[in-house]
Amino acid sequence: MAIIKKKQFKEMSAADAKKRLLELRLDLAKDRAQISVGGSPQNPGKTREKRRTIARLLTFMNSKKREVGKTA
């Protein structure tokens, strides 16, 4: 679920990217809450992958903003 391929980033609109970012952050918050209560996450690798995907998504969104700024 958390993995978004490079091709999918290019096809995403700004609204879709923001929506996906909110979903990932919500899932990550749920995982962190489960860990803080004392339980173990169902899949610890997914938590790491969600963090990385969020970072990739933010990087992609910021680079798009810079490209728009240069051309305008």
Q: Is residue 45 part of a domain?
A: yes
Residue at 54 is within a domain: yes
Token pair recorded at residue 69: 């700024």
Residue type, 45: G
Mean pLDDT of the chain: 87
pTM (two decimals): 0.83
Residue 1 lies in a domain: no
Is the pLDDT higher at 67 or at 56?
Answer: 56
Query: What pLDDT sits at residue 65?
Result: 85
Is position 23 within any domain?
yes
Can you give the pLDDT at residue 7?
Answer: 85
Burial of 50 (0-12, 13-18, 19+ CB in 10 A): buried
CA distance 33 to 31: 5
- Domain extent for 31: 6-71
Contact yes or no for 39/31 (Cβ under 8 A):
no
Domain holding 44: CATH number?
Answer: 1.10.287.310
Which one-letter DSSP state was computed for residue 42? S
22 in a structural domain: yes
- Number of compact structural domains in the chain: 1
